[in-house]
């Protein structure tokens, strides 16, 4: 391999490693790197230690590694080879190099020599810290202490609890609530997510196996649960006490923010909570979700044609941050597509409810040339051997669904009524 190609490959490799480490996939210090020289392909192989190989294998299965790499290198062929011990990460940079070469984007010095990897991939300057200020935690007032909760003043309830830690102004006091106090006086917000029995069971299993570890719950001055809803319920059911702090003035907004930051809630939890609060788009979406047998992602596609944006940052997650926009008119169209999906159930029992099929149906039904009655007649006439929907034991790719549906619809159709296949759905 000539020096310039080798240098460029080393630069690609260095940047890829930086990408992995930036995303929290830390490389072991003792990994070994080798460049495969076959004159035509630019490939590097990384021999991995047992611990990192196991982590990488798990991340690869979840698609995380491919997502990280494809951010900057859309042409990479990334595969994981071998067992977790002495695993190999093999990356082919050939297409990326050819693309850069073609565009003339490979940097060179004035004398034509290549830049070194260090020159090509200069480290990014550290980001300036943001102006983040901790919110003040307020102490309880006399009025709050005198206010009754289920017939008992708050100060009386706190007297039933053990004081574990005192702060100067009382804002950071830690109390230990016995199970009878938890059961009688603690409560959940109506908009909070419903209790998930499997979560309760997993907590009980953990307590039984590892012991009941120290934990704190957050409640407001009305003893409404801000955090640790499932831990409190588990304590009640198993006659356990729980430590808690009172966060004055906190409410459902803080419940949501806290769970976003801690990634405790799923999209379904947010949907239920926001629908209970009466936020229009979520009320409409939940009405549709409850009515049909589709999962959340399929419902999103039937409304919008694709998944609703989920950014890497919590602030970029449209669905979870009350930024979902859905109208009654969109509900009407989604209902029509749901009927179409249902009509395919007997022809595609293994995949008619899936997100991939939903995206294909969205494409078909948004075409002005699509006629559903015509489509169902043509599907019904297909021989079983010609109907891939019936023969497949699983789910097809979106492209495969679109190609099959368009091909079936266009058969014996006049030229002016033919539905074209967009490039994004071609192999």
Summarize the confidence of residues 159-164 as an average pLDDT. Answer: 95
Separation CA 117–CA 93 (nearest Å)? 15
Residue 191 vs residue 156, higher pLDDT: 156
DSSP string for 212-252: ----EEEE-TT-BEEE-HHHHHHHHHTT--EEEEE-TT--H
At residue 75 the predicted structure's pLDDT band, cuts being 50, 70 and 90, is very low
Query: How confident is the model over 401-409, as a mean pLDDT?
Result: 93
Compute the distance between CA of residue 36 and CA of residue 49 in angstroms, rounded to an integer: 20
CA distance linking residue 53 with residue 46, whole number of Å: 10
Contact 108, 51 (CB under 8 A): no
CB 5 within 8 A of CB 42: yes
Q: What is the pLDDT of residues 162-210, one digit of tens each?
A: 999 998 888 889 999 999 999 999 999 887 767 777 778 888 988 998 8
Q: What does the pLDDT read at residue 63?
A: 41
Mean pLDDT of 353-373: 93
Please say if the pLDDT value at position 403 is more than 60: yes
pLDDT of residue 379: 92
More confident residue, 322 or 346: 346
Confidence of residue 322 (pLDDT cuts 50, 70, 90): confident
Mean pLDDT of the chain: 77
The DSSP result for 275-310, as a single string, is: HHTT-HHHHHHHHHHHHSS--HHHHHHHHHSSPPP-
Q: Is the pLDDT of residue 22 over 70?
A: no
pLDDT of 21: 61
Question: In the prediction, which pLDDT does 55 show?
Answer: 47
In Å, how far are 37, 254, 352, 405 from 192, measured between CA atoms? 59, 11, 32, 42
CATH code of the domain occupying 3-120? 3.30.1240
User: Does pLDDT of 336 surpass 90?
Assistant: yes
Q: What percent of the chain has pLDDT over 70?
A: 67
- How many angstroms from the chain centroid is the CA of residue 355? 15
CATH-assigned architecture of domain 151-262: Alpha-Beta Complex (3.90)
Count of Cβ atoms closer than 10 Å to residue 110 Cβ: 5
pLDDT in tens, 274-301: 888 889 999 999 999 999 999 888 999 9
Please give the Cα distance from 164 to 239 (Å, whole number).
19
User: Residue 16 class from Cβ within 10 Å (0-12 exposed, 13-18 middle, 19+ buried)?
Assistant: buried
Query: In sequence order, what are the residues at sequence separation of 6 or more whose Cβ sits closer than 8 angstroms to the Cβ of residue 424?
Result: none
pLDDT tens string 256-274? 777 766 656 677 878 888 8
State the pLDDT at residue 232.
94
Question: Domain coordinates of the chain in residue numbers?
Answer: 3-120, 151-262, 268-425
What secondary structure letter does DSSP report for 415?
A: G
Which is nearest to 73 in space by CA: 122, 11, 31, 127?
11
């Amino acid at each position: 391999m000539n020096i310039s190609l080798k240098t460029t490959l080393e630069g690609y490799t260095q940047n890829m490693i930086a990408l992995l480490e930036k995303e929290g996939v830390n490389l072991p210090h003792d990994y070994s790197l080798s460049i495969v020289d076959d004159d035509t392909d630019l490939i590097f192989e990384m021999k991995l230690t047992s611990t990192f190989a196991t982590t990488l294998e798990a991340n690869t299965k979840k698609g995380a590694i491919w997502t990280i790499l494809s951010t900057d290198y859309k042409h990479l062929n990334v595969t994981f080879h071998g067992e977790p011990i002495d695993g190999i990460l093999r990356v082919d940079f050939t297409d990326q190099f050819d693309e850069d070469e073609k565009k003339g984007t490979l940097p060179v010095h004035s004398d034509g020599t290549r830049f070194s990897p260090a020159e090509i991939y200069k480290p990014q300057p550290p980001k300036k810290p943001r102006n983040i200020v901790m919110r003040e935690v307020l102490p309880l007032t006399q009025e709050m202490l005198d206010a009754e909760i289920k017939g008992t003043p708050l100060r009386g309830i706190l007297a039933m609890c053990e004081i574990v830690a005192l702060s100067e102004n009382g804002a950071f006091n830690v109390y230990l609530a016995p199970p009878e106090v938890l059961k009688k006086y603690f409560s959940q917000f109506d908009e909070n997510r419903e209790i998930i029995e499997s979560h309760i069971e997993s907590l009980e299993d953990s307590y039984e196996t590892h012991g009941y570890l120290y934990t704190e719950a957050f409640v407001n001055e009305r003893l409404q649960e801000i955090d640790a809803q499932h831990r409190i319920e588990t304590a009640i059911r198993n006659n356990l006490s729980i430590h808690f702090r009172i966060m004055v003035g906190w409410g459902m907004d803080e419940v949501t923010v806290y769970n976003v930051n801690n990634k405790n809630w799923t999209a379904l939890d947010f949907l239920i909570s926001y629908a209970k609060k009466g936020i229009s788009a979520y009320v409409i979406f939940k009405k549709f979700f409850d009515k049909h047998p589709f999962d959340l992602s399929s419902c999103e596609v039937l409304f919008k044609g694709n998944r609703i944006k989920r950014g890497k940052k919590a602030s970029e997650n449209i669905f979870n941050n009350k930024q979902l926009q859905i109208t009654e008119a969109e509900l009407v169209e989604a209902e029509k597509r749901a009927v179409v999906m249902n009509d395919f159930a007997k022809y595609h029992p293994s995949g008619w409810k899936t997100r991939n099929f939903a995206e294909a149906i969205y494409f078909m039904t948004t075409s002005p040339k699509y006629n559903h009655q015509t489509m169902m007649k043509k599907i019904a006439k297909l021989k079983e051997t010609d109907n891939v929907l019936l023969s497949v034991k699983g789910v097809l790719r979106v492209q495969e669904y679109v190609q099959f549906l368009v091909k079936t619809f266009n058969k014996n159709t006049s030229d002016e009524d033919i539905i074209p296949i967009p490039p994004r759905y071609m192999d």
